[in-house]
Amino acid sequence: MVRRNTQLAILAFILFVWAYIFLFSKGSENNLDTNERETFDRFGTPRDNQNELDEEGQPHDYQNELDEEGEDEDEDDEEDYSFQYPADKKRKKRYPTVLIIGSQKSGTTSLRQFLKFHPDIVGPERELHYFDKTANGRNYEKYLKKMPKSYSNQITIEKTPNYFTVQKSPGLVLEYQKFLVVELKLILIVRDPIRRSISHAFHSKAHGRTELKNLTTEILAEKSKYIYSSLFGQHFERWLKYFRRDQFLVLDGEKFAKENPTSALKEVENFLGIKHAFKEEDFGFNDDKGFYCYNPTKFCFPSNRGHAAYPQQLTPAAKTILKGIFEKDLETFWRLAGVNYNWTLGADV
C-alpha cells in the first residue's frame, strides 16, 4: 500500500511539473512589451535576415548625433500588415548587412533618422567610423558590440559617410563582406557638389575645425578637402573596383532635401526588399524649421541644422572654377552610376 501511494505521489509531481512548464512557455510567447507589439501590429513581420551572432552582453549606448544636412509616390500597395511574431522571438546583436557609405553633407543623417522608424530596420545612432579607422580584419566583434539588439527578421544598417571618400575603406568593407559570406548592400546619397562643399565648410566651422575667415579662399585652397570630398566620380570609380554596381543604391540628395522624402524612402525599401511602411501623409513640411517632419512620432530636426542663408558666399569667379572641376567629374559619375540628376550647379548659393 505504501509503495502504491509513493508511485501515485511521484506521478502527481511529474504531471504538476509538466503542466507548469507548458503554461510558462505559452505565457513567454506573449512577452513582447507594449511598444514592440504596437510596432508589429501596424506593419507585420519584417523580412528575414542572415548573419546573426550571439549577443555580447553589452547594452548599446544610444546618442542622438545630428551632424549631417538633409534632404511620384507609388500607389499604396495592398499588403497584409497583420500581427505576426518574428521567427525566433528573441533579440540579439547582429552584424550590419547594409551600409550608408556617404556622401558627407548630402543628407545621410536625415536618411538614417527617417529609416529608423521602419519596423524592419535597426542600427546604431552614432557614426562608428569602423571601416575608415578601426577595422583590421580581426576585430569584428568590437563592431558587433556597438549594434543594437534586433530580431532575426530585421535588417541592421550602419551609417558613416566618410567611408565613401577614405581610400582604404572599400577594401576593408570587402574583407568584412568576405567575413560575413553575404553580399552587402551599399547606399550612397549625393548632392550638388558646390552646395555640398559649402555645407562641408560651414560644418567644419561649426565644429571648430576652421575659422573660415574667407569661404572662397578656403574651398579653393590647394588640396582642399571640400573639393576632394565632392569628387563623386573619382570615389565611386574606386568603390566599383571592389563591388558590383547592383550592390549600390544611389539617391538624389537635392531632391531628398527639398521634397517629401517618401519617394526616396520607398527606393530604399525596394532596394532592401522590405515592405512599404512609409506614406506621403506621414510627412509634413514645417515652415518654421525648414524641414520635413515625421508626423506619426512628431519627430522633426532642430532648426539650427540647416543653412538657409549662409553668412558668406562664393565669388562668381570661384563658382566658375568649381563648375569646371565638378562638371568633368560628374560626367564620370553619371556614366558609372547610370543616373543623371541634371543639377544646376551652385544655384542659389
Report the distance separating Cα 321 and Cα 313, nearest Å.
14
Report the distance separating Cα 276 and Cα 309, nearest Å.
35
SS3 at position 185: strand
Of 217, 221, 214, which is closest to residue 312 (Cα–Cα)?
A: 214
**DSSP track, 161-178:** GGGGT-TTHHHHHHHHHH
Average pLDDT rounded to a whole number, residues 213-228: 96
Domain count, the chain: 1
- pLDDT single digits (tens) 28-44: 334 333 333 333 233 22
SS3 at position 124: coil
Task: Assess if residue 346 is contained within a domain.
Answer: no
Task: Assess if residue 145 is contained within a domain.
Answer: yes
Q: What is the mean pLDDT of the chain?
A: 81
322: left (phi over 0), alpha (psi -120 to 50) or beta: alpha
Task: Assess if residue 27 is contained within a domain.
Answer: no
Going from the C-alpha of 8 to that of each of 2, 16, 19, 232, the distances in angstroms are 10, 12, 17, 79
46 touches 79 (CB < 8 A): no
Q: Residue 158 sits in a domain of what CATH number?
A: 3.40.50.300
C-alpha grid cell, residue 170: 572599400
Task: Assess if residue 89 is contained within a domain.
Answer: yes
Which comes out higher in pLDDT, residue 10 or 159?
159
pLDDT of residue 182 exceeding 60, the answer is: yes
Radius of gyration for the alpha carbons in the chain, expressed in angstroms and rounded: 25
Binned at pLDDT 50, 70 and 90, residue 328 comes out as very high
Alpha helices in the chain (DSSP H): 2-28, 34-43, 108-115, 140-145, 169-180, 193-206, 215-219, 225-229, 232-239, 253-258, 262-272, 316-337
pLDDT of residue 81 exceeding 70, the answer is: no
Report the distance separating Cα 321 and Cα 93, nearest Å.
48
Q: Which residue type occupies 85?
A: Y
What is the CA angle 301-306-312, rounded to 5? 165
Report the distance separating Cα 185 and Cα 173, nearest Å.
11
Q: Which residue type occupies 96?
A: P
pLDDT of residue 278 exceeding 50, the answer is: yes
pLDDT of residue 197 exceeding 50, the answer is: yes
Report the distance separating Cα 141 and Cα 143, nearest Å.
5
Task: Assess if residue 324 is contained within a domain.
Answer: yes
- pLDDT single digits (tens) 132-179: 998 877 789 999 999 999 999 999 999 999 999 999 999 999 999 999
C-alpha grid cell, residue 281: 501623409
pLDDT for the residue 51: 33
Of 306, 344, 339, which is closest to residue 327 (Cα–Cα)?
A: 344
Q: Encode 199-258 in three state secondary structure.
A: HHHHHHHHCCCCCCCCHHHHHCCCCCHHHHHCCHHHHHHHHCCCCCHHHEEEEEHHHHHH
Task: Assess if residue 39 is contained within a domain.
Answer: yes
Structural domain for 120, as ranges: 34-337
117 touches 57 (CB < 8 A): no
Task: Assess if residue 164 is contained within a domain.
Answer: yes
Task: Assess if residue 251 is contained within a domain.
Answer: yes
Of 46, 157, 154, 172, which is closest to residue 109 (Cα–Cα)?
A: 157
